[in-house]
Amino acid sequence: RVSYSIRDHERNVKRNVTKTFVLPRQESDADSSITTTTQESSEIQAFLVSPSTERQAILREVSDTNGGGKKRYVEVWRNSQLEASLEVTKRHGQFHTDEYFKSFSFTPSETALVYTAEANPETTEALEDDPYPKFRFIPHFGEQMYTKKRPTLFVFRWRPSDEAMHQTRVTKQDISLAALSLDQLPNVPVVFGQATFVSETRLYATGYEQTADGKLLGIKGCYNRPTSIWELVIPGDSSTTDLTTLCNSVKIDIPGRSSRSPRVLFDKDRTPRTLFWLSNVTGGAHASTVSLHSRDLKGGSGDKVVVDVVYDPGAQDFPGLYTEYNLGSSPFLQHDGGTYIVVQSLWRSRPTVILIDVEDGTVVDGTPLLEGQPLYSWNLLATDGFGSVVCSRSTPTSPPEVVLLTATRGKFAGAPRVIDKPVLSPKVKEALGRLSVTIIPIPDRYPAETIVIRSKEAVERTPVCVTMPHGGPHASSVTAFTPSVVAYALEGFTVSLPNYTGSMGFGEKYIQKLLGKCGELDVGDCIASVERLTELGISELGRQVVQGGSHGGFLAAHLIGQYPNVFSAAVMRNPVISAGELCGSDITDWPYREFGLPFEPGTHVTPDSFTTLYAASPIAYIELVKTPVLLLVGEDDLRVPPTQGKGYYHALKGRERVVEMLTFPKETHPIDGVEAARVSFEAARDWFRAFTN
């Protein structure tokens, strides 16, 4: 089952379509697969198939036609019959199905499952002497996660009918739902997510801790938070009182590491064999090189690091792991006597699929870039646990297609089998075919390089070049299809996507190298990319514009301040303009960590730290700015408060510079609502055209 997200501009909504592919195991042509397409129901919040494939679990949320709110249900289906169902509306709030907190796991017997939901607010009665529970401050998890304050694990149990031939629906008396709580509270408040059963009474989960000053630092895009893997043990008698089960707990404490994403490898008889998880350095850069860890659940070899950080790789060597936030829901392949973990990871400017031998940590690039092959960007979707892997792949000029890979002896054998292709009109297909993509290294600034998208055809005049530095700063521009990027090339622009020092995918050395040099090293790499394309004749001076969001907006503002005669126009989405004024951000540690200042709980801006942050910020160059600026500001941005963009607008306006600003109510940091994203692109395109000939 593959889900597709579609932007419906007529209805101004994002819609999901699910395609189900039934594939034969033997080698055969793509035509032998069976495909069905369905509109994905907005009621279904999560769907899970049990290990035996006999059961399916659903978290469902439906509109309450009487009260106008939402009703929530947990359902378990056995084959085509509803085996157990319970309305949980009054038991807790919304289901948590995001990548940070989602739990959805069966016990080995398939008679219980765990999921994550928002606990109900505590009442006056529950808090005894507290008369103000409604107004008591409780921290939330920040940008796009502000509704998450009390994530809680719930265990849903049911007693199936013993009459296998006469399946009947389980009665309410044979169903229970209990919230999990620790029998001994830790010194630091912790909430749990990402739980997975390893036995009938034992789970592993990710624990998110508050800082000592009572904060929950924003976790969206941040890999350095105080998180750990915890073992939770439910007593055999369930010790259930007041609908809460008290658990014994053990924290897998690895000092200095932020751990997450527990995954359990089972033997064929469903005996738990090994626990795996990911970790990054706690503190420091908000994203860094990932380590893969394991624990022998049979008590043999203990804990070990399967894949460690790579500090300074060679240009062609494995650069280290740069995975998504989580491992895949089922990341294992067991075949030919070996066991492998499959991950999607950055390899310089290109995401690829990597196979990791769980015994010795050997890493193989399963989808390497071959000579003459397009610059495919790979996205891991699922595995069958044996030898088949489903991925999507795309290039900057070709939309994603779904492919099937087959593993043999720790690598993928044969050509990828395409099982679904996008349907393009002849006009669009022809237009995309007229574009080329190259990766161009920046001389004397290793490992900086830029992805360039431009027309293959000869033109009378060199096209305007749009330099688009990514945000983060520890993120990457990649060789994937991004409609809002390729649209500029289709409109006649050349697009340059620089990966400056500090970008992911090049080795830990270069992430650490940027710390304390933001506004200098990254800006230098970006202007060097402009100069390099000019030297190569790909672009020319006087026909340069720049666009960026977040830290990319920070860089755009720096570029037009430090190099006021280079760019004819600039567009910035929710830019960081004055790093010393980010106390309202959900990641208050960011300016300190990235600009080389110490940070610990209780840290606040001082005159000295403000002086340092001001000097490293675009606002320090406000008097030099001559470039016309368009600002795009999300009114509900918790990552970079709207005051940053608005303050820049008024500072430019007060100096009689050319500046405009569009504000988007209810939009957060990405400004990715259907209408807002379309308007943002169209406004930016028109702005560039207005100030270039």
Residue 535 is part of a domain; what is its CATH number?
3.40.50.1820
Q: Indicate if 406 and 525 belong to the same structural domain.
A: no
What pLDDT shows up at residue 237? 63
Q: Indicate if 419 and 431 belong to the same structural domain.
A: no
Q: Indicate if 356 and 457 belong to the same structural domain.
A: no
* Cα–Cα dist 198/270, whole Å: 9
Beta bridge partners of 549: 573
Q: Mean pLDDT, 10 residues at a time, over the chain (693 residues)? A: 88 88 59 63 89 94 84 94 94 96 96 96 64 86 94 94 67 92 90 97 96 94 96 75 83 95 93 96 95 92 93 95 95 92 97 96 94 93 92 97 92 91 95 97 98 93 97 97 97 98 98 97 98 97 97 98 98 98 94 95 95 98 98 98 98 98 97 97 98 90
Amino acid code (one letter) for 208: Y
Residue 182 domain flag? no
H/E stretch holding 632: strand 629-634
Residue 640 domain flag? yes
What pLDDT shows up at residue 336? 84
What pLDDT shows up at residue 39? 65
* Cα–Cα dist 173/156, whole Å: 13
Residue 626 domain flag? yes
* Cα–Cα dist 157/64, whole Å: 25
* Cα–Cα dist 611/606, whole Å: 8
Q: Indicate if 517 and 415 belong to the same structural domain.
A: no
What pLDDT shows up at residue 242? 54
Q: Indicate if 408 and 500 belong to the same structural domain.
A: no
Q: Indicate if 436 and 418 belong to the same structural domain.
A: no
What pLDDT shows up at residue 372? 86
**Which residues are within 8 A (CB) of 347 and not within 5 positions of it... i.e. 6 or more apart?**
318, 319, 365, 505
Q: Which domain holds residue 482?
A: 426-691
* Cα–Cα dist 83/203, whole Å: 24
Amino acid code (one letter) for 443: P
Beta strands per DSSP E along 481-626: 494-499, 544-549, 569-573
Distance of CA 62 to the CA centre of its chain: 27
Q: Residue 293 is encoded by which pair of tokens?
A: 């860890």
Residue 190 domain flag? no
Q: Indicate if 569 and 673 belong to the same structural domain.
A: yes
Residue 414 domain flag? yes
Looking from the CA of 644 toward its CB, the CA atoms found within 13 Å total: 33
Residue 142 domain flag? no
What pLDDT shows up at residue 593? 94
* Cα–Cα dist 448/367, whole Å: 23
Query: Which of residues 396, 423, 450 is at a domain's end?
Result: 423
Reported for 198-201, long-range contacts at CB under 8 A and 24+ positions apart, including other chains, are 198/264, 198/272, 198/275, 198/297, 199/107, 199/108, 199/272, 200/107, 200/108, 200/109, 200/112, 201/233, 201/234, 201/235, 201/236
Query: Which of residues 401, 423, 445 is at a domain's end?
Result: 423
Query: Which of residues 377, 397, 423 is at a domain's end?
Result: 423
* Cα–Cα dist 28/376, whole Å: 24
* Cα–Cα dist 340/279, whole Å: 18
Per the structure, the count of domains in the chain is: 2
Residue 418 domain flag? yes
H/E stretch holding 356: strand 350-357
* Cα–Cα dist 462/280, whole Å: 44
Give me the residue label for tokens 């007593």.
Answer: 235
CB 89: neighbour CB atoms within 10 A? 15
**Which residues are within 8 A (CB) of 125 and not within 5 positions of it... i.e. 6 or more apart?**
none
* Cα–Cα dist 265/272, whole Å: 6
Instruction: Give this prediction's pTM.
Output: 0.95
What pLDDT shows up at residue 66? 79
Q: Residue 183 is encoded by which pair of tokens?
A: 């029998």
Q: Indicate if 660 and 623 belong to the same structural domain.
A: yes
Residue 473 domain flag? yes
Could you give the dihedral angle defined by the CA atoms of residues 556, 559, 565 and 568, in that order, rounded to the nearest 10 degrees?
A: -10
Give me the residue label for tokens 């430019």.
Answer: 652
Q: Indicate if 442 and 419 belong to the same structural domain.
A: no
Q: Indicate if 522 and 635 belong to the same structural domain.
A: yes
143: nearest Cα among 98, 95, 103: 98
Name the phi and psi angles at 692, rounded to 5.
-130, 150
Q: What is the 3-state secondary structure (H, E, C) of 155-178?
A: EEEECCCCCCCCCCCCCHHHEEEE
Q: Classify strands 291-296 and 303-307 as parallel, antiparallel or unpaired.
A: antiparallel
Give whole-number Cα distances, 358 to 338, 410, 440, in Å.
Answer: 8, 11, 35
Give me the residue label for tokens 């409604």.
Answer: 134
Q: Indicate if 414 and 386 belong to the same structural domain.
A: yes
Looking from the CA of 639 toward its CB, the CA atoms found within 13 Å total: 24
Q: Indicate if 403 and 544 belong to the same structural domain.
A: no
Distance of CA 510 to the CA centre of its chain: 21
What pLDDT shows up at residue 24? 67
